[in-house]
Protein backbone atom coordinates (compact mmCIF):
# COMPACT_ATOMS: atom_id res chain seq x y z
CA UNK A 1 0.00 0.00 0.00
CA UNK A 2 1.18 3.53 -0.79
CA UNK A 3 0.11 6.33 1.55
CA UNK A 4 0.00 9.82 0.03
CA UNK A 5 -1.11 13.34 0.82
CA UNK A 6 -2.32 15.50 -2.04
CA UNK A 7 -4.35 18.54 -2.83
CA UNK A 8 -6.89 18.96 -5.53
CA UNK A 9 -9.37 21.83 -6.02
CA UNK A 10 -7.97 23.64 -3.00
CA UNK A 11 -8.54 20.81 -0.51
CA UNK A 12 -5.94 18.59 1.15
CA UNK A 13 -6.59 14.83 1.16
CA UNK A 14 -4.93 11.81 2.67
CA UNK A 15 -5.10 8.98 0.16
CA UNK A 16 -3.67 5.90 -1.51
CA UNK A 17 -1.71 5.55 -4.72
CA UNK A 18 -1.99 2.62 -7.10
CA UNK A 19 -0.80 2.30 -10.68
CA UNK A 20 -0.38 6.00 -11.45
CA UNK A 21 -3.64 6.98 -9.79
CA UNK A 22 -4.62 8.30 -6.38
CA UNK A 23 -7.80 7.98 -4.33
CA UNK A 24 -8.99 10.03 -1.36
CA UNK A 25 -9.28 8.31 2.01
CA UNK A 26 -10.34 11.61 3.54
CA UNK A 27 -13.51 11.53 1.40
CA UNK A 28 -14.16 7.80 1.77
CA UNK A 29 -13.41 6.97 5.41
CA UNK A 30 -15.67 8.67 7.95
CA UNK A 31 -13.85 9.82 11.06
CA UNK A 32 -10.39 9.68 9.48
CA UNK A 33 -8.27 12.33 11.23
CA UNK A 34 -6.95 15.16 9.05
CA UNK A 35 -3.58 15.10 10.86
CA UNK A 36 -1.20 12.67 9.15
CA UNK A 37 0.62 11.86 12.40
CA UNK A 38 -2.69 10.74 13.91
CA UNK A 39 -3.62 8.63 10.90
CA UNK A 40 -0.16 7.01 10.94
CA UNK A 41 -0.39 6.39 14.70
CA UNK A 42 -3.88 4.87 14.43
CA UNK A 43 -3.28 3.09 11.13
CA UNK A 44 -4.20 -0.38 12.40
CA UNK A 45 -7.64 0.94 13.32
CA UNK A 46 -8.20 2.05 9.72
CA UNK A 47 -6.21 -0.62 7.87
CA UNK A 48 -9.25 -2.63 6.71
CA UNK A 49 -10.92 0.51 5.41
CA UNK A 50 -7.75 1.49 3.56
CA UNK A 51 -7.59 -2.00 2.11
CA UNK A 52 -11.19 -1.79 0.91
CA UNK A 53 -10.49 1.63 -0.56
CA UNK A 54 -7.49 0.29 -2.45
CA UNK A 55 -9.71 -2.21 -4.24
CA UNK A 56 -12.43 0.32 -4.93
CA UNK A 57 -13.50 0.63 -8.57
CA UNK A 58 -14.40 4.33 -8.52
CA UNK A 59 -13.03 7.60 -7.26
CA UNK A 60 -9.50 7.40 -8.65
CA UNK A 61 -7.74 10.49 -10.00
CA UNK A 62 -4.73 10.60 -12.29
CA UNK A 63 -1.58 11.55 -10.36
CA UNK A 64 -0.95 14.29 -12.97
CA UNK A 65 -4.17 15.99 -11.91
CA UNK A 66 -3.24 16.42 -8.24
CA UNK A 67 -0.41 18.07 -6.35
CA UNK A 68 1.44 15.62 -4.12
CA UNK A 69 2.50 17.00 -0.74
CA UNK A 70 4.85 15.59 1.87
CA UNK A 71 3.22 12.33 3.05
CA UNK A 72 3.91 13.48 6.63
CA UNK A 73 2.53 17.00 6.95
CA UNK A 74 4.54 18.02 10.00
CA UNK A 75 6.79 15.37 11.58
CA UNK A 76 7.24 15.67 15.33
CA UNK A 77 10.95 15.31 14.66
CA UNK A 78 13.26 14.72 11.72
CA UNK A 79 16.38 12.78 12.68
CA UNK A 80 19.29 12.32 10.31
CA UNK A 81 22.46 10.24 10.48
CA UNK A 82 25.79 11.45 9.09
CA UNK A 83 28.64 9.46 7.51
CA UNK A 84 26.75 6.22 6.95
CA UNK A 85 27.99 4.94 3.55
CA UNK A 86 31.63 3.87 3.13
CA UNK A 87 32.18 5.83 -0.12
CA UNK A 88 30.78 9.04 1.44
CA UNK A 89 33.00 8.58 4.51
CA UNK A 90 36.00 8.17 2.18
CA UNK A 91 35.21 11.29 0.12
CA UNK A 92 34.78 13.26 3.36
CA UNK A 93 38.21 12.02 4.48
CA UNK A 94 36.80 10.60 7.71
CA UNK A 95 37.20 7.37 9.65
CA UNK A 96 34.28 4.93 9.74
CA UNK A 97 32.38 5.99 12.85
CA UNK A 98 32.17 3.48 15.69
CA UNK A 99 29.13 5.29 17.08
CA UNK A 100 26.20 6.66 15.10
CA UNK A 101 26.44 10.40 14.38
CA UNK A 102 23.02 12.08 14.60
CA UNK A 103 21.68 15.54 14.01
CA UNK A 104 18.18 16.99 13.98
CA UNK A 105 16.60 18.73 11.02
CA UNK A 106 13.88 21.22 11.98
CA UNK A 107 10.34 19.93 11.31
CA UNK A 108 9.65 23.20 9.49
CA UNK A 109 12.13 22.17 6.76
CA UNK A 110 9.73 19.48 5.49
CA UNK A 111 8.86 19.90 1.82
CA UNK A 112 6.72 18.23 -0.84
CA UNK A 113 8.25 15.75 -3.27
CA UNK A 114 7.93 17.99 -6.33
CA UNK A 115 8.07 21.43 -4.71
CA UNK A 116 10.84 24.00 -5.24
CA UNK A 117 14.01 23.87 -3.14
CA UNK A 118 15.20 27.29 -1.98
CA UNK A 119 18.69 28.51 -2.79
CA UNK A 120 19.04 30.56 0.40
CA UNK A 121 19.98 34.24 0.43
CA UNK A 122 22.23 33.56 3.41
CA UNK A 123 24.44 31.23 1.36
CA UNK A 124 23.71 31.28 -2.39
CA UNK A 125 26.85 29.31 -3.37
CA UNK A 126 26.94 26.21 -1.16
CA UNK A 127 23.68 24.33 -1.71
CA UNK A 128 23.98 20.54 -2.00
CA UNK A 129 21.82 17.44 -2.42
CA UNK A 130 21.95 14.17 -0.47
CA UNK A 131 19.97 11.18 -1.76
CA UNK A 132 18.57 9.29 1.23
CA UNK A 133 16.25 6.47 2.13
CA UNK A 134 13.73 7.79 4.67
CA UNK A 135 12.04 5.64 7.32
CA UNK A 136 8.72 6.86 8.72
CA UNK A 137 7.87 5.81 12.26
CA UNK A 138 4.47 4.16 12.76
CA UNK A 139 3.96 2.54 16.14
CA UNK A 140 7.34 3.74 17.38
CA UNK A 141 8.24 3.38 21.04
CA UNK A 142 11.17 3.54 23.44
CA UNK A 143 13.98 1.00 23.88
CA UNK A 144 13.01 -0.80 20.69
CA UNK A 145 14.91 -4.05 20.13
CA UNK A 146 16.39 -4.96 16.75
CA UNK A 147 13.76 -7.72 16.46
CA UNK A 148 10.95 -5.21 17.09
CA UNK A 149 12.38 -2.43 14.91
CA UNK A 150 10.64 -3.48 11.65
CA UNK A 151 7.23 -3.32 13.36
CA UNK A 152 7.95 0.19 14.67
CA UNK A 153 7.96 1.78 11.20
CA UNK A 154 4.97 2.29 8.93
CA UNK A 155 7.00 2.46 5.76
CA UNK A 156 9.68 4.11 3.65
CA UNK A 157 10.06 7.04 1.30
CA UNK A 158 12.61 8.88 -0.80
CA UNK A 159 14.30 11.91 0.73
CA UNK A 160 16.74 14.68 -0.10
CA UNK A 161 18.77 15.86 2.90
CA UNK A 162 19.41 19.27 1.32
CA UNK A 163 22.47 20.86 2.90
CA UNK A 164 23.96 24.34 3.09
CA UNK A 165 27.64 23.37 3.17
CA UNK A 166 29.06 26.74 4.12
CA UNK A 167 26.83 26.86 7.19
CA UNK A 168 27.88 23.30 8.03
CA UNK A 169 31.35 24.68 8.66
CA UNK A 170 30.08 27.45 10.96
CA UNK A 171 29.59 25.07 13.85
CA UNK A 172 30.70 21.61 14.97
CA UNK A 173 27.11 20.41 14.68
CA UNK A 174 25.09 20.54 11.50
CA UNK A 175 21.49 21.09 12.59
CA UNK A 176 21.09 24.66 11.38
CA UNK A 177 22.87 23.98 8.07
CA UNK A 178 20.38 21.15 7.46
CA UNK A 179 17.25 22.99 8.59
CA UNK A 180 16.67 25.75 6.05
CA UNK A 181 13.08 26.07 4.84
CA UNK A 182 12.20 23.57 2.05
CA UNK A 183 15.34 21.50 2.71
CA UNK A 184 13.66 18.23 3.71
CA UNK A 185 11.66 17.10 0.69
CA UNK A 186 10.26 13.57 1.09
CA UNK A 187 7.88 11.37 -0.87
CA UNK A 188 6.48 10.84 -3.39
CA UNK A 189 4.43 8.83 -0.89
CA UNK A 190 5.12 6.35 1.94
CA UNK A 191 5.44 2.79 0.65
CA UNK A 192 4.09 0.85 3.59
CA UNK A 193 5.88 -2.17 5.02
CA UNK A 194 3.28 -4.57 3.53
CA UNK A 195 4.84 -3.70 0.15
CA UNK A 196 8.42 -2.91 1.25
CA UNK A 197 9.17 -4.91 4.41
CA UNK A 198 12.95 -4.63 4.05
CA UNK A 199 14.43 -1.27 3.00
CA UNK A 200 17.92 -2.71 2.46
CA UNK A 201 19.14 -3.81 -0.97
CA UNK A 202 17.45 -0.97 -2.87
CA UNK A 203 19.22 0.97 -5.61
CA UNK A 204 19.51 4.68 -4.73
CA UNK A 205 20.43 7.59 -7.03
CA UNK A 206 20.70 11.35 -7.21
CA UNK A 207 20.32 12.76 -10.71
CA UNK A 208 20.97 16.48 -11.22
CA UNK A 209 19.97 18.04 -14.56
CA UNK A 210 19.89 14.52 -16.04
CA UNK A 211 23.39 13.57 -14.79
CA UNK A 212 23.73 10.72 -12.27
CA UNK A 213 25.78 12.15 -9.37
CA UNK A 214 25.17 9.57 -6.64
CA UNK A 215 24.51 5.88 -7.22
CA UNK A 216 24.61 3.22 -4.55
CA UNK A 217 22.46 0.65 -2.82
CA UNK A 218 20.88 0.77 0.63
CA UNK A 219 22.61 -2.56 1.33
CA UNK A 220 25.75 -0.42 1.80
CA UNK A 221 24.54 1.41 4.92
CA UNK A 222 27.17 1.23 7.68
CA UNK A 223 24.49 1.22 10.39
CA UNK A 224 21.33 -0.27 8.89
CA UNK A 225 17.84 1.11 9.50
CA UNK A 226 17.06 -1.30 12.35
CA UNK A 227 20.31 -0.44 14.18
CA UNK A 228 19.42 3.23 13.80
CA UNK A 229 16.03 2.69 15.42
CA UNK A 230 17.55 0.69 18.28
CA UNK A 231 20.09 3.44 18.93
CA UNK A 232 17.74 6.43 18.68
CA UNK A 233 15.06 4.82 20.83
CA UNK A 234 17.49 4.39 23.69
CA UNK A 235 17.44 8.18 23.94
CA UNK A 236 13.96 9.22 22.89
CA UNK A 237 10.50 7.90 22.24
CA UNK A 238 9.98 7.52 18.51
CA UNK A 239 6.50 8.75 17.70
CA UNK A 240 4.08 8.25 14.79
CA UNK A 241 5.12 10.41 11.84
CA UNK A 242 8.71 10.93 12.99
CA UNK A 243 11.01 10.88 9.98
CA UNK A 244 14.49 9.33 9.85
CA UNK A 245 16.99 10.22 7.11
CA UNK A 246 19.27 7.18 6.95
CA UNK A 247 22.44 8.59 5.36
CA UNK A 248 23.75 9.47 1.92
CA UNK A 249 26.20 7.68 -0.41
CA UNK A 250 29.29 9.18 -2.04
CA UNK A 251 29.00 11.73 -4.83
CA UNK A 252 27.70 14.83 -3.03
CA UNK A 253 28.38 18.01 -5.02
CA UNK A 254 30.50 19.82 -2.43
CA UNK A 255 33.10 17.04 -2.33
CA UNK A 256 33.06 16.32 -6.07
CA UNK A 257 36.03 17.18 -8.27
CA UNK A 258 35.39 19.81 -9.57
CA UNK A 259 33.12 21.08 -6.83
CA UNK A 260 29.44 21.34 -7.80
CA UNK A 261 26.78 23.46 -6.06
CA UNK A 262 23.10 23.74 -6.82
CA UNK A 263 21.78 27.01 -8.18
CA UNK A 264 18.58 28.54 -9.53
CA UNK A 265 17.00 26.30 -12.17
CA UNK A 266 18.84 23.10 -11.31
CA UNK A 267 16.58 20.02 -11.22
CA UNK A 268 17.34 17.46 -8.51
CA UNK A 269 15.80 14.03 -8.78
CA UNK A 270 16.28 11.36 -6.11
CA UNK A 271 15.22 7.81 -6.97
CA UNK A 272 15.02 4.63 -4.93
CA UNK A 273 13.99 1.22 -6.26
CA UNK A 274 10.40 0.31 -5.36
CA UNK A 275 9.82 3.65 -3.58
CA UNK A 276 9.66 5.96 -6.62
CA UNK A 277 11.28 9.34 -7.06
CA UNK A 278 11.07 12.95 -5.94
CA UNK A 279 12.13 15.89 -8.07
CA UNK A 280 12.57 19.52 -7.07
CA UNK A 281 13.67 22.60 -8.97
CA UNK A 282 16.06 24.94 -7.17
CA UNK A 283 14.78 28.52 -6.89
CA UNK A 284 16.52 31.58 -5.56
CA UNK A 285 14.91 32.63 -2.28
ZN1 LIG B 1 22.35 13.36 5.06
Q: How far is the CA of 86 from the centre of ligand 1 (A)?
A: 13
Q: Per the confidence metrics, is the pTM higher than 0.95?
A: yes
- Summarised one tens digit per residue, pLDDT across range 59-84 is 999 999 999 999 999 999 999 999 99
78-284 is a CATH 2.30.30.230 domain: no
- What are 101's strand-pairing partners? 82
Q: What are phi and psi of 221, to 5 degrees?
A: -60, 135
141: left (phi over 0), alpha (psi -120 to 50) or beta: left
- Going from the Cα of 80 to the center of ligand 1, the distance in angstroms, rounded, reads 6
pLDDT digit string, tens, across residues 187-196? 999 999 999 9
Q: Where, residue-wise, is CATH 3.90.850.10 in the chain? A: 78-284
Q: Give DSSP secondary structure letters for 129-187.
A: --EEEEEEESS-BSS--TTTHHHHEEEEEEEE--EEHHHHTSSSS-TGGG-STT-EEEE
Question: Given this model, what pLDDT does residue 213 score?
Answer: 98
Q: What is the DSSP letter of 221?
A: B
Centre of ligand 1 to C-alpha 81, Å, is 6
Q: How confident is the model at residue 179 (pLDDT cuts 50, 70, 90)?
A: very high
Q: Give residue 69 CA to ligand 1 midpoint distance, Å.
A: 21
CA of 127 to the centre of ligand 1 (A): 13
Neighbours of ion ligand 1 (CB under 5 A): 130, 161, 248
CB 247 within 8 A of CB 83: yes
Amino acid sequence: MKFAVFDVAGAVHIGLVKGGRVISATSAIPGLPTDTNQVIGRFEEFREQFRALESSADGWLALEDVHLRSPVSRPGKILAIGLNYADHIAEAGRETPTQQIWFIKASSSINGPFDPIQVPKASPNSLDYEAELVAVIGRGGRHISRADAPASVIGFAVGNDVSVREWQSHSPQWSLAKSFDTHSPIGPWITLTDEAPDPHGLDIKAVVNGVVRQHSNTANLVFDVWDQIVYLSQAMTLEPGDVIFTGTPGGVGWLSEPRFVLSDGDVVRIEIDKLGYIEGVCKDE
